[in-house]
Amino acid sequence: MIKQSAYEQIKENLDANGKLPHTFSLEEKQAPNQIGFMPGAMDGVGIFHVGGGKEEKVIKKVDSLLRKYFKTGKEKYIAKIENILTNSRTISVIDPILESIRNDEKSIDAGKVFEASLHIVKTSHNIELVKLGIALLGLFDIDEPHEAREITITLSSYDDFTLYAVVAAANWSNGNDAIYKIAKRVDGWGKIHAVERLEPDTEEIKNWILRHGCSNGIMDAYLGLTCAVKGDLISALRQEVIDDELFNSAAIIIDALLDEGPVDGISVYEHANEAMTLFMRHAENHVNTIESLWRIFNIKSWAELSDSDYKNIVLSQCDEIASRPQWREKIVEVITNNENDFAFFCASNVASRMDVDISKELFAAVKSEPLKHYPSVQRLFNKTDMAHELIAMYESILPLNDMAEGMGDYLFSDKRNQEHMCLDFILPELASYPMQGVELIKTGLNSRVVRGRNMACRALSGWMKLLNKQLDEISPELYEELKRISKIEVNADTKEIMRKLLNGDANILMDSPTPLQSD
């Protein structure tokens, strides 16, 4: 069966705004013992955090095969390139190849290069090969309404292709308009690449960057400084009065500037002092949602560690806003209504930072949607009555027999992944409740996911420490089950943990109970 081209798959799945469904992917399904990556993640991380590497032999080989393909049009050369790119990603070889072709335009037929490149992007299903084709089309200034332009923009809707599409579009007449169009189609790594290369050459584009450019599905920090500069944040903040949308957009940018983990931010922003002072002035009149309050607390956390001259003023203003009497009611309302996932997160986080007890509301939310709100169980297990009810509930609703599939070396479950992640959160909390949740622990011990077995061991370790007894004294049943599983355990670290527990040593080292997440 011939695979449908990447272009056709993307085209069929676009909505009226040129966006793809969040779940759309061209990647082959990852094996359960492999970490998957979001579209564009590997190239994005490579650009921002690793830097480009050069693979001289691969570059020369691909360059040679391309030249043969341009001359002959024979697909065998493309097949060979595709095979090479299985192990060497396009991002690591493309710049020297493009330079080689530009420097040799006398001996290369530009028309054949264009047609060959267009053929690749239209017909190939291979992701790295399509990237190569888009990059090659970037050698040409493509006018409207040529199909190559439409195809490139269509492909740009997939985050793994956006970088190559915006670089190509930069060489077109009115290319910035195309990049603007592309930027509005994507939310992940593609948006980061597009906004980085989008020039604010009109008021419309500058305003869009300011109001909509920063927020993305990866990490707002990647675009904080870019949007502050290109969107002219400081001029917006200098206005006496701003609307709610502009304030919320400015809050996103300010919050992103403060997070300098992935990239530079507030420390290199030339208007940092004035921007923060003006923003806090506007905040006095505009912080009226839990989401905006959450960002105020982020500013407070930053200011507490800052050595800036204006930190005390910022802290005072943050405290004034946080002390307003309406917040507890708003927090409870958000948790109770349970409509917006981000607002729910912000309300839960702010409640913790303000020491507001929302256990009753969280408990109701978890019981109403136990597979959605399982991260909240960590906040509830310190209340014995709630913990007992939650343990009984999860033992009842989780398909434990289906989840206890036996030994494996999976990082993620290939089925019922949500249920396994839920179990991962519950198991370590059982450490404080000896002989509670026995069926949950047995399921964890028999999970194909290594993490499930580790978390079950964490719970057993907790029992041993609390009761100061060996496992065979606490539960002969679980002791025998652990003994049986330890004999077939395939993960060396987990096998050592099990050996210690069986020998009565409860002092095991374990990683955080939060489930692994792919980028």
Q: pLDDT tens digits for 272-286? A: 999 999 999 999 999
* Stretch 422-434: mean pLDDT: 97
Cis, bond preceding 145 (omega within 30 deg of 0):
yes
What pLDDT does 516 receive?
36
Of the pLDDT bands very low, low, confident and very high (cuts 50, 70, 90), residue 3 is confident
**pLDDT (0 to 100) of residue 36:** 53
| Burial of 159 (C-beta count, 10 Å sphere; 0-12/13-18/19+) | buried
For residue 259, which of 214, 309, 193 has the smallest C-alpha distance? 214
Q: What is the pLDDT of residue 54?
A: 60
Which of 354, 314, 315 has its CA nearest to residue 332? 354
Cα distance between residue 318 and residue 329, in whole Å:
19
Both structure tokens of 28: 């082959």
pTM: 0.87
409 compared with 31, residue with greater pLDDT: 409
Asked if 329 and 289 count as a contact pair (C-beta separation under 8 A), the reply is no
Which of 26-40, 49-63, 394-408, 413-427 shows the lowest mean pLDDT across its residues? 26-40
**pLDDT score recorded for residue 413:** 83
Which whole number is the average pLDDT over 102-119?
A: 91
Q: Predicted confidence band at 49 (pLDDT cuts at 50, 70, 90)?
A: low
In 3D, which of 43, 321, 38, 247 has the Cα closest to residue 163?
A: 43
Query: Is the pLDDT reported for residue 2 higher than 90?
Result: no
Listed by start position, the domains of the chain span 39-199, 221-335, 379-502
- CB neighbours of 170 closer than 8 A, spacing ≥ 6? 138, 176, 179, 197
Q: Is the pLDDT of residue 351 over 70?
A: yes
Average pLDDT over residues 88-99: 91
pLDDT at 289 over 90: yes
As a whole number, mean pLDDT of residues 89-107 equals 90
Q: Which residue has the tokens 């994005």?
A: 44
- Round to whole Å and give the CA distance between 473 and 476: 6
Angstrom CA distances, 331 to 98, 356, 378, 380, stand at: 55, 9, 19, 17
Scored b (16 or more CB within 10 A) or e, 109-143 reads eeeebbebbbebbbbbbbbbbbbbbbbbbbbbebe
Phi-psi region of 406 (alpha: psi -120 to 50; beta: other; left: phi over 0): left
Angle (nearest 5°) at CA 193 between 187 and 197: 125
SS3 state of residue 47: helix
Amino acid at 293: L
- pLDDT number for residue 33: 56
Q: Supply the pLDDT for residue 37.
A: 57
Q: How far apart are CA 424 and CA 194, in angstroms?
A: 37
Backbone angles phi, psi at 410, to 5 degrees: -75, 140
pLDDT at 519 over 50: no
- Does position 59 have pLDDT exceeding 60, yes or no? yes
Q: How confident is residue 38, by pLDDT bands cut at 50, 70 and 90?
A: low
Summarize the confidence of residues 35-41 as an average pLDDT.
61
Per-residue pLDDT, 513: 38
Q: In one letter, which amino acid is 406?
A: G
pLDDT per residue as tens digits for the range 154-204: 999 999 999 999 999 999 989 999 999 999 999 999 999 999 999 999 999
Q: What percent of the chain has pLDDT above 70?
A: 93
Question: What's the token pair of residue 12?
Answer: 């069929």
Torsions phi, psi for 221 (to 5 deg):
-60, -30
For range 114-130, the mean pLDDT: 95
Res 29 pLDDT > 80: no
Tell which wins on pLDDT, 32 or 476: 476
Contacts of 255 (CB under 8 A, 6+ apart): 220, 224, 295, 298, 299
Lowest-confidence region among 95-104, 422-431, 510-519: 510-519
Residue 511 has pLDDT above 50, yes or no: no
- Separation in Å, CA 181 to CA 95, 169, 174, 178, 300: 25, 11, 11, 5, 36
User: What are the tens digits of pLDDT across the range 452-474?
Assistant: 999 999 999 999 999 999 999 99
Q: What is the structure's pLDDT at 514?
A: 38
Q: What is the mean pLDDT of residues 301-323?
A: 94
491 close to 480: Cβ distance less than 8 angstroms: no
pLDDT at 470: 97
The answer to whether the CB of 217 falls within 8 A of the CB of 187 is: yes
pLDDT of residue 466: 96
Cβ-based neighbour number of residue 50 at 10 Å: 11
